[in-house]
Amino acid sequence: MLIYILRRLALMVFVLWGVTLAAFLISHALPADPAAAALGNNAREAQLQEFRVRNGLDKSLPVQYGVYMGRLLTGDLGTSLRTQNSITADLKQFFPATLELTLGAVVFAVLIGLPLGILAALQHGKALDLLARIFALLGGATPVYWLAILALNVFHERLGWLPGPGRLDAYSLAPPVHSGLMTVDAVLARDPQVLVDGLRHLILPGLVLGAFSAALLTRMTRSALLEVLSQDYIRTARAKGLKGSRVIWRHALKNAALPLLTVFGSLFGSLLTGAVLTETIFSWPGIGSYATTSAISLDFPAVMGVTLVAGLAYSLVNLIVDLAYASFDPRISFS
Amino acid sequence: MTTTLPVSRRSDNAALRKLRRNSGAMLGFVLLLLLLLAALFGPLFLGNPGAQDLAARLSPPSAAHWLGTDQLGRDVLTRVLSGARISLGLGVSVMLASLITGSLIGLLAGLLSGWWDEGLMRLTDIFLAFPSLILAMAISAALGPNLTNVMIAVALVSWPTYARLIRAQVLALREREFVEAARALGSSQGRVALRHLLPNSLAPLLVQGSFDVGSAILTAAGLGFIGFGAQPPTPEWGAMVSETRNYIAQAPWASSAPAVAILLTVLAFNLIGDGLRDVFDPRGR
């Protein structure tokens, strides 16, 4: 198993290097001038040239890439052309917000998708099954930004049940930053008011972002469980006189978990895509918003930084999913 | 030279029969047919999607404007139907571009084996690890936000799935007797690939392709919504939702109509994809 993990980690390093190279080549192949984008249309040629020299954009491509990689090996992702801050520092500031939102979305997706999928499979062919299938179909086809606009309009503007955009209300004082996760920092600061406010702000964007994942999870749980429930060993367990709940929890769900793990791996990509759109609408200061503003201003070093962090997270999630396979299914070996 | 392929006419007919009995897939086909008809013929009867009537701005649905009007008094139905042409065309074009690119790379990897296979599959891994929307945003921002660039951007991030799919098919098929027979009869690598391997890999490609048309439409509309896609006044569905989002309280129809159009189109392709998967790979249900 150790050899397998080491091989996968080596492959991950290679893939991430490839991501930097591909992102670098694509960003430099595009006919756009980051200097003009940063300084505006009225900038004089001398100013543009000074900007290019200051940011190393006047050097040849291999030199620029070499400098970038040299810095990257020391954990330095370069300087943002837009904010002029260290990109590593920018990402450290923005990433926790996205992580908190994504975790919130996963919690909602699991809380909705798993029970609904299980109930649909147990009530196969009945009204609840039909409702779950409709939810799964609609959830997978609904544009996340429209859902976000509707949710804000109904639950914030009309009903006033939940707060609007942002991570905290205007009157709430943000706790001292330790983890960057508002809820965790509020707990560390022993500030229940901010904790409740942070959690309330997480509900709408978390639900909106988690809707697609909940739909996918409902559908996959239902189909995985239906397949397992038709197996001989389930019939045998029932024939032995085992209680229905024990058959489901001990025999069926454990065997249905494997395909569900695959879903978790693929969910990550859709969550990141959804986060870009959700963060834009909910004014959520995460890496999705950061990537959007960086792309608008042709700040390619910042876009490359986000790409690399997202690629790393994607690769790690998939590695963890693959490793988790073995603990669920002893037939899988890593040799 | 002719070699009998395992994909026979009889199995094709059986698949078609199964598909016809699949109510979800049939619903998807009917929805898609209605959308196609509306996209093709609707704009011919409804006039100019950019025509403004400021006196009738934000009018609710009525006999004159079936889906109401937007903030500039433009007829929402006319714009939604004009947008159908754009979105359907975009979805199908992106799917075909990714399918052709991915299939070519997957075929080469599966056929050539060794270092070629390793190299091409690692390239696929690299593009799979890319956050697709962020890459598409960067490309679209640099090339200029318009429909063609959106298509290029989305296709560039969508091909790896096809490459993996077709490579797996080639690996499974290349040792089969009918492929060996074709080789023994003197068929070149290219002929084996195009006449034998590709036709027998069409089923999973068809399933993936159906899902990907919907997915491409969603991604492109998402890009349009955040300003990286088609620009106003182009009646692209994502851009239309974005343009009218601030009027959702007064005129919910203006942003909901294009959003529901996206939903129905993606739903149609997903239902068709589900149906095709049920027919060709019942274990994937």
d(CA B195, CA B1): 11
Q: What's the gap in Å between the CA of B178 and the closest CA on chain A?
A: 32
Q: What is the pLDDT of residues A206-227, one digit of tens each?
A: 999 999 999 999 998 998 899 8
Taking contacts as CB-CB distances below 8 angstroms, the residues of chain A near B208 are none
User: For residue B267, what pLDDT band results from cuts at 50, 70 and 90?
Assistant: very high
Would you say residue B1 has pLDDT above 50?
no
CA-based nearest residue in chain A for residue B28: A137
Mutation site, B27, B87, B130, interface A, largest A CB count within 10 A: B130
pLDDT digits (tens, 9 = 90+) for B71-90: 999 999 999 999 999 999 99
Q: Is A149 in contact with B135 (Cβ distance < 8 A)?
A: no
Q: How many CA atoms lie within 13 A of A86 on its CB side?
A: 9
> Across the interface, do A141 and B270 touch by the CB < 8 Å criterion?
yes
CA–CA distance, B104 with A324 (Å, rounded to integer): 33
Report how far residue A39's alpha carbon sits from residue A46's, in angstroms, rounded to the nearest whole number. 12
| Nearest CA-CA partner of A102 in A307, A331, A317, A268 | A268
> What mean pLDDT is predicted for residues A144-150?
95
What the block records as the tokens of A50 is: 């000074």
Percent of chain A with pLDDT over 90: 42
Q: Using a CB–CB cutoff of 8 Å, tell me whether B96 touches chain A.
A: no
CA distance B59 to chain A (A): 19
CA distance B15 to A300: 49
Give the lowest-confidence range in A121-130, B113-122, B130-139.
Answer: B130-139
| Average pLDDT score over chain A | 88
Residue showing tokens 């099954």: A129
- Cα separation of A144 and B218, whole Å? 9
B69: which strand partners? B75
Q: Report whether B124 contacts B185 (CB < 8 A).
A: no
Least confident of A298-312, B97-111, B263-277: A298-312
Asked if B219 has any chain A CB less than 8 Å from its own CB, the reply is yes
B283 reaches A (C-beta below 8 A): yes
3-state secondary structure chain A: CHHHHHHHHHHHHHHHHHHHHHHHHHHHHCCCCHHHHHHCCCCCHHHHHHHHHHCCCCCCHHHHHHHHHHHHCCCCCCECCCCCCEHHHHHHHHHHHHHHHHHHHHHHHHHHHHHHHHHHHHCCCCHHHHHHHHHHHHHHHCCHHHHHHHHHHHHHHHCCCCCCCCCCCCCCCCCCCCCCCHHHHHHHCCCHHHHHHHHHHHHHHHHHHHHHHHHHHHHHHHHHHHHHHCCHHHHHHHHCCCCHHHHHHHHHHHHHHHHHHHHHHHHHHHHHHHHHHHHHHCCCCCHHHHHHHHHHCCCHHHHHHHHHHHHHHHHHHHHHHHHHHHHHCCCCCCC
Mean pLDDT, rounded, for A41-60 = 84
User: By the CB < 8 Å criterion, does B231 face chain A?
Assistant: no
Round to the nearest angstrom and report the end-to-end CA distance of chain A. 7
Which residues in B lie closer than 8 A to residue A303 (C-beta atoms)? 134, 137-138
| Closest CA relative to residue B139, chosen from B123, B154, B126 | B154
Question: What confidence category does residue B3 fall into, taking pLDDT thresholds of 50, 70 and 90?
Answer: very low
Per-residue model confidence (pLDDT) at position B245: 92
Answer with the residue of higher pLDDT: B199 or B266: B266
What's the rounded mean pLDDT across residues B254-271? 95
Most confidently modeled range among A7-16, B152-161, B262-271: B262-271
Q: For the ranges A20-34, A93-107, A163-177, A299-313, which has the lowest average pLDDT?
A: A20-34
pLDDT tops 90 at residue B238: yes
CA distance A310 to chain B (A): 6
Q: Which residue in B has a C-alpha nearest to residue A299's C-alpha?
A: B138
* Cβ atoms within 10 Å, residue B116: 13
Hey, what are B3's tokens? 């070699």
Amino acid occupying residue A305: G
Residue B63 CA to residue B47 CA, distance in Å, equals 16
Model confidence at B4, pLDDT cuts 50, 70, 90, reads: very low
User: Residue B2: what pLDDT?
Assistant: 40
Range with the poorest average pLDDT among A199-208, A280-289, A294-303? A294-303
Q: Do A269 and B132 touch (CB under 8 A)?
A: yes
CB contact under 8 A, B270 and A137: yes
Q: Rounded mean pLDDT of chain B?
A: 86
Task: Tell whether B122 is within 8 A of chain A (Cβ).
Answer: yes
DSSP-derived 3-state class of residue B285: coil
- Tell me what the mean pLDDT of segment A105-115 comes to: 93
pLDDT number for residue A335: 56
Per DSSP, the three-state class of B238 is helix
B123–chain A Cβ distance below 8 A for any pair: yes
Mean pLDDT of A139-161: 95
Cis omega (within 30 of 0) for bond into B232: no
From chain A, the residues in CB contact with B221 under 8 A are 143
Distance CA B240, CA B227 (A): 11
Give the max Cα distance, chain A: 85
Give CA–CA dist A137/A114, Å, rounded.
15
Highest-pLDDT range among A145-154, A289-298, B57-66: A145-154
The sign of the CA dihedral B234, B237, B239, B242 is positive
Residue A246 — pLDDT band, cuts 50, 70, 90?
confident
Distance from CA of B142 to the nearest CA of A (A): 5
Of A18, A26, A153, the CB nearest to B248: A153
Mark yes or no for CB contact B285/A223 under 8 Å: yes
Tell me phi and psi for residue B170, to 5 degrees.
-60, -45
pLDDT higher than threshold 80 for residue A37 = no
B163 pLDDT exceeds 70? yes
Chain B hits for A277, CB-CB cut-off 8 Å, are: 133, 222, 225-226
Distance, CA of A293 to CA of B228 (rounded, Å):
11
CA distance B121 to B214: 26
pLDDT band at A229 (very low <50, low <70, confident <90, very high): confident
Least CB-CB distance to A146: which of B249, B259, B271?
B259
Are the CB atoms for A140 and B270 separated by under 8 Å? yes
The nearest CA of chain B is from the CA of A145 a distance in Å of 8
Q: What is the pTM of this model?
A: 0.87
CB contact under 8 A, A142 and B138: no
Both tokens assigned to A116:
């609904």
**How would residue A167 be classed by pLDDT, with cut points 50, 70 and 90?**
very high
- The closest of A220, A211, A226, A247 to A124, measured between CA atoms, is A226
Nearest CA in chain B to A135: B267
Size of interface A-B (CB pairs under 8 A): 142
Max avg pLDDT among A229-238, A243-252, B253-262: B253-262
Q: Is the bond leading into A163 cis (omega within 30 degrees of zero)? A: no
> Does residue A292 contact residue B137 with C-beta atoms inside 8 Å?
yes
* pLDDT tens per residue, range A317-326: 888 887 887 6
Looking at residue B10, its pLDDT comes to 62
Closest-CA residue in chain A for B144? A32
Long-range contacts (CB closer than 8 Å, 24 or more residues apart) made by A170-173? A172/A197
- Asked if B227 has any chain A CB less than 8 Å from its own CB, the reply is yes
**pLDDT score for B54:** 87
Chain B CB contacts of A140 below 8 Å = 266, 270
Check CB contact of B139 with chain A, cutoff 8 Å. yes
pLDDT band with cut points at 50, 70 and 90 for residue B7: low
Closest CA of chain A from B246, distance in Å = 9
Q: Which residues pair with A79 in a beta bridge?
A: A86
Q: Does the beta carbon of B263 lie under 8 angstroms from any beta carbon of chain A?
A: yes
Q: What b-and-e string marks burial along B199-211, b requiring 16 or more CB atoms within 10 Å of the CB?
A: ebbebbbbbbbbb
* A311 interaction partners in chain B (CB closer than 8 Å): 129-131
Average pLDDT over residues A13-24: 88
Determine the Cα–Cα distance for residues B92 and B215; give it in Å rounded to an integer.
11
Asked if A27 lies within 8 A of B138 by C-beta distance, the reply is yes
B49's CB contacts (< 8 A; 6+ apart) are B43, B74, B75, B78, B79, B81, B82, B83, B235
Chain A CB within 8 Å of residue B118 CB: no
* Res B49 pLDDT > 80: yes
Tell me the chain B residues in contact with residue A296 when contact means C-beta distances shorter than 8 Å.
141, 227
In the numeric block, which tokens belong to residue A136?
A: 């799964």
Task: Report the pLDDT averaged over residues B207-225.
Answer: 91
